[in-house]
Amino acid sequence: MYTADIVYKEGLPTLANKREVIRAKAPECFLEAQDFRNNDTELIYTCYRMPYADVFGVELDGGKIHTYRKIAGEYNEVEGIFPDGHYTLVESSRDQGGPERQNSQYIDLWKLALEPSSTDFVRLTRWGDYEGYKASNPVVSPDGQWIAFQSARNDEPAGVGHGIFLLKLKK
């Protein structure tokens, strides 16, 4: 993963100050950036180790890596970060049954505190309680009071959805 500045030269965008932040250790881990936090000093990302995934952060200055959620046999894909930067949404296979159901096909949405090896992990949806369904692709409203997400079938490719839902969060 890289960071860079977008600058315009003669009206055309180009990248300047390109810098490698972290390199994946493929095939052990494939990376997907999610968002910045802490005044853009840390990048939150997912490490995919198929069929599982984990939540990490990397400090942009110095490269220190923080492990937020890495559980053997559990799929945890980081999604929208709350405006305060202290929490994020996670698509997780936790509580979805036995080992054969601990992958990206069997997920619900959870709220994770961004603390190293966090145990502050709260389930927000129960779509996975209904055979064949999952909740996915959540985003947090700018005021942190709502999340929007989609209903999906667990036998369809990632990103395919069947309706957008709003969930009011408790204060």
First to last CA, the chain: 35
pLDDT of 128 strictly over 90: no
Q: Which of 127, 110, 125 is nearest to 71 (CA)?
A: 110
Q: What is the residue extent of each domain of the chain?
A: 23-128
Q: Between these two residues, 22 and 101, which has the higher pLDDT value?
A: 22
Q: Between these two residues, 155 and 41, which has the higher pLDDT value?
A: 41
Predicted local distance difference test score (pLDDT) of residue 104: 63
Q: Which of 97, 91, 101 is nearest to 123 (CA)?
A: 91
Share of the chain above pLDDT 70, in %: 94
Domain 23-128 CATH class label: mainly beta
Number of other CB atoms surrounding residue 31 within 10 Å: 18
- Summarize pLDDT for 57-72 with one digit per residue, the tens: 999 999 999 999 999 9
pTM recorded for the entire structure? 0.90
Are residues 152 and 105 in contact, defined by beta-carbon separation less than 8 angstroms? no
Q: Which of 104, 105, 15 is nearest to 2 (CA)?
A: 15
**108: confidence class by pLDDT, cuts 50, 70, 90:** very high
